Structure 1
Amino acid sequence: MAQSHDGALENIRRYATEARALQDTQMDFDASGTEARLGNTVRELQARVQEQHAALEKLRASSGTDIRQTAHASADPRQKLRQLLTVKNAYTRLTPTAPFLPSQNSILPALLAARTLQQNIRGTKEAISTTQSQLTATETRLRHQEANQHDAQLLHQAMENRIARLRAQHEDRSQKSPAQLAKELIAARRAQKELYDDETASLGAALNAFINDHLSAMLAAEDLGGPVVGDMLDVENATLAAGFTKKGKAKAAQKPASDKLRQRRIDQIWGAKASLADAGDEDDEDPLTEAEAADSEMRTLLGDLFATLSEPGGGKAYFNIERDSAASRFLVRAKIAQFHPRDARKLRLIDFGKELDD
């Protein structure tokens, strides 16, 4: 037992020495003899192929049987048994035979190693490309899942806060009498109404300022045959006094138009209502300008449309307008009002809580 153990150790030491010597030995990379070695390898392989062909022909001639036919198992049990015995005898004779190995100077092992290495490199590159695409898809899916998780956490937190508020309100209401709850509800509704009134007044003041500072001059320009509201943002009173050409361009004012001519034009376009409404608010006797007339018409039209909402028809009732004005067209373009489907002289405000009528 000790001798076998010592023999194994000796073999290990000898293998290590030989392996170290092989590592220290420089490999022969002389390119001058590569072509000759390759030619010798090809000739060696061709000679081996010829030997195998000669052996196969000799076997066919000596046996006198069809090798292709005998390669398949026969349906006859006796014939099949003879085939199996023949295969067994062939394996028995070939087992002790040494396999064919290339010569020491053959370049065939290097070629086989290079082919295997090339296949491995190609497979590695394909694996890297596939892994990268999978990694990109996985990262995208991960980001999507993280976003969903974040949204779910926010929803969960909001639901918890809502539940906590509802529980607190329920506990608070359970400790109060119905009369006290009614008083608090009435006070909350009054506070909400006051808030809505203040916001309505603020929005109304902003709307009036917008009409007076910007919109009225553009409405007057469109009514006088000028550009549509929004095409000319800065419209001066002198431009309105001079008027516009048939092509919608401002006329070059040679001299200021007389107040009587301007007042007659204002009465023809906007009517006497605008002059009377403006005169009721002003203490002086300054002549009315085109922008002021358009401003008065827009305010009056908005007031009539809002008043129509309080009528029995409510949001479905239409207001009959006297003429097709720039103010009514602007409200329709701005999606604030809409004409009647069959009568363009009827106008109503749009109910923003419902879809637009066809």
Structure 2
Amino acid sequence: MDILAMSFCVKSSHSHLSVSLKCQHLIGFEEEEQVSAFMTPVFTLNQSFKLCNLPVSRLHLLCQALRNPCCKIKDLKLYGCLISPASCGALAAVLSTSQWLTDLEFRETKLEASALKLLCEGLKDPNCKLQKLKLCASFLPESSEVVCNYLASVLICNPNLTELDLSENPLGDTGVKYLCEGLRHSNCKVEKLDLSTCYLTDASCMELSSFLQVSQTLKELFVFANTLGDIGVQHLCEGLQHAQGIIESLVLSQCSLSAACCESLAQVLSSIRSLTRLLLINNKIEDLGLKWLCEGLKQPDCQLKDLALWTCHLTGECCQDLCNALYTNEYLRDLDLSDNALGDEGMQVLC
């Protein structure tokens, strides 16, 4: 009944609103049950919902409302919900018919491969207008490779999709390999890609590097909390230096990095004018690594505006290198050195 009431409001919504469902037990009824089993007579007779004693998904009523031509809901968020394959089939129908829905987010909503397959059929429909797809902490470990294959086919078919967030899913290197087959396709127009906490290693970076070299649209890449290591980041840097795109933001926080990768990062800073944001939080960069980064910051083509170096094992010894970079870099606006042992002498140098 709660979903029925909400569906009535959604159906009557003439403005661009957002619908968020945050519940651990969005069960409603089982797949084999009939709508008339729990509907009151007054609602059973409401033909606008097409309730004809057919088996329906848990989200049937909501999806019927979202498909109504008068509904102008722009984004739908499902947090902690129990989503069945039938529900994904109903959502796929929404994606293939709605002219307004542009954002779809699943978070902590476990989806089986069969459910994702149905959803992807809707995403591949020529009429799908979705621009942002977030599937955070939603994959089952045993289905990740299959799911990435489905998503790759979506990226090939749907040029409207500009944001893809797959964070907190156990994709692994094999999953990313399948995903990159779609990312590299000329029809793919993704501008923001989030693969944070996805169990990636340096092998994934080789695949991502090949994607970076051909993408002309990617602006933001998030690979936070993956064990990429120095070799992995060196692969990424090689791809960035040969990129045709306009990368603006690179997030490499908590990626098991050391000073060994900083020379490659410095070359990226000195050669990619579009890069304005670099986050290296919680990596063991140390003073030597920062010395290399400062060499990149001093180059005339470096236009970095935001540099985050929290918990990077820095000491006061690096502060003179920072000063030398600040003397010449006129673009840097945000410099975060939190949780580093710079000490009083280091701060005096910076001041």
TM-score category (smaller protein): under 0.3
Q: TM-score, normalised by structure 2?
A: 0.17
Q: TM-score, normalised by structure 1?
A: 0.17
The answer to which structure has the higher strand fraction is: 2
